[in-house]
Amino acid sequence: MTAIRRGEVLIFKGCNFFRQRLVLSVLSSKSVKITDIRTLDDAPGLKEFEVSLVRLLDKVTNGTVIEINDEGTSIYFQPGLLYGGTIEHDCSLERGIGYYLEALFMLSLFCKKPLNATLRGVTNTNIDPSVDLLKTSMITTMKNFIYDHENLDVSIKKRGLRPLGGGEIVFKCPIGQQLRPVQLLESGLVKRVRGTAFALRVSPAIANRIVDKAKGVMLNFIPDVFITADQRRGKQSGNSPGFGVHLTAETTKGVIYSAEAVSNVVAFGEEPSLPEDLGEAASQRLCKEIFLGGVVDSTSQALAILFMALGPQDVSKIVTGNLTDYTVGFLRNLKEFFGVTFKIEKYHAEEFVEGSGCEKVLLSCVGLGYTNLSKRTI
């Protein structure tokens, strides 16, 4: 896991946390070399979705230098300056658009021009967080750290499922000079549940069956539950059949918890999914997110940690549920690229609230005072 430093180049081995390392490379302006990528696999080297990510990062930067060996088992990445602007990108169908969109969430604020990105591919999959999930979870998290969020938006133009995709989304993000410090300790109590069920190239009744089951489960805990059916036809429904549901719970403090479930891909030999099973699974996952608690859900832990580290030279604090493996890896990579360390301790609330879920984690750090040097000044 620990990087080897040779001059200004950080050297890593293996494909773990590949996306994290490239994103932090761009933000820190430090070159990276990643070697021994799947050298022991039957199909060694970079996968198609990783090459697609590299191409996307090249589009949002100017002057990036990329060198990949013939076998694809080693990559040298020298980041250019973040530029942004209007870009279009066809994402690999191996992964969801969410895999690429998360990287843009981390980078877009520090571009020279406001980012207007059109991404095409798979909008909803059980491999990566869906566009719906990132839209509710990460935009809510970002708004805590930025001053201007008027033009921050994700819109789903077309939905697309595996294996053939056909989805299209537009991500817009303003540029910012710097972030603001936060003291986010109270999550509040859940006051309402909202959701969207979709059925693409299958009977519209399937979406209604998902809604009935998911709503039935959540009504056992809270009376304010409203789940809509997103019925799309023609090109807006993508190229593959399937269905799914996305749920959110909002608290009295404005915290959003998100969960989802997407049908299996029968074309890949997976067992067909039942709408009722998906509705129940998404509801149970949402209940788990609520139980874990904190001011950000598990999807946005890494994003919140990044913005805390890059914030002003002041103390920032947030409370989360259990840290995911992805977040732990991100903390380690942050230390490698920026030298930032976090104080991690158990959080003890001043007042005990019944039904507050599992033990919480308090994360605190002093920001680097990172500023957007690419932003045009008058």
Task: Average the pLDDT over 183-195 and give the result.
Answer: 94
- CA–CA distance, 83 with 58 (Å, rounded to integer): 10
Q: Using the predicted structure, report yes or no on whether residue 378 has a pLDDT greater than 50.
A: no
Q: What is the pLDDT of residue 147?
A: 84
- CA–CA distance, 275 with 199 (Å, rounded to integer): 10
Q: What is the pLDDT of residue 352?
A: 60
Q: Using the predicted structure, report yes or no on whether residue 1 has a pLDDT greater than 60.
A: no
- Supply the DSSP symbol for 58: H
Q: What is the pLDDT of residue 148?
A: 78
Q: What is the pLDDT of residues 321-366, one digit of tens each?
A: 999 999 999 999 999 999 999 999 999 876 666 666 788 999 999 9
Q: What is the pLDDT of residue 150?
A: 82
The percentage of the chain sitting over the pLDDT mark of 70, rounded to a whole number, equals 95
Q: What is the pLDDT of residues 120-132, one digit of tens each?
A: 999 999 999 999 9
Q: Using the predicted structure, report yes or no on whether residue 375 has a pLDDT greater than 70.
A: no
The percentage of the chain sitting over the pLDDT mark of 90, rounded to a whole number, equals 87
Q: What is the pLDDT of residue 377?
A: 42
Q: What is the pLDDT of residue 261?
A: 97
- CA–CA distance, 244 with 227 (Å, rounded to integer): 12
Q: What is the pLDDT of residue 8?
A: 77
Answer positive or negative: Cα dihedral of 123, 126, 127, 132.
positive
Q: Model's pTM, two decimal places?
A: 0.94
Beta strands in 122-241 (DSSP E): 153-158, 167-173, 183-184, 190-200, 225-231
Task: Average the pLDDT over 148-155 and give the result.
Answer: 88
- CA–CA distance, 233 with 121 (Å, rounded to integer): 17
Task: Average the pLDDT over 304-316 and give the result.
Answer: 96
Kindly write down the DSSP assignment for every residue of 219-281, as one continuous string. TTT-S-EEEEEEE--GGGG-SS-EEEEEEEEEETTS-EEEEEEE---GGGTPPPPPHHHHHHH
Task: Average the pLDDT over 202-208 and give the result.
Answer: 95
Task: Average the pLDDT over 20-44 and give the result.
Answer: 96
Q: Could you check whether the bond before residue 181 is cis, i.e. omega within 30 degrees of 0?
A: no
User: At a CB cut-off of 8 Å and minimum separation 6, what does 70 contact?
Assistant: none
Q: What is the pLDDT of residue 149?
A: 77
Q: What is the pLDDT of residues 223-252, one digit of tens each?
A: 999 999 998 989 999 999 999 999 999 999
Q: What is the mean pLDDT of the chain?
A: 93
Q: Using the predicted structure, report yes or no on whether residue 118 has a pLDDT greater than 50.
A: yes
Q: What is the pLDDT of residue 310?
A: 96
Q: What is the pLDDT of residue 7?
A: 61
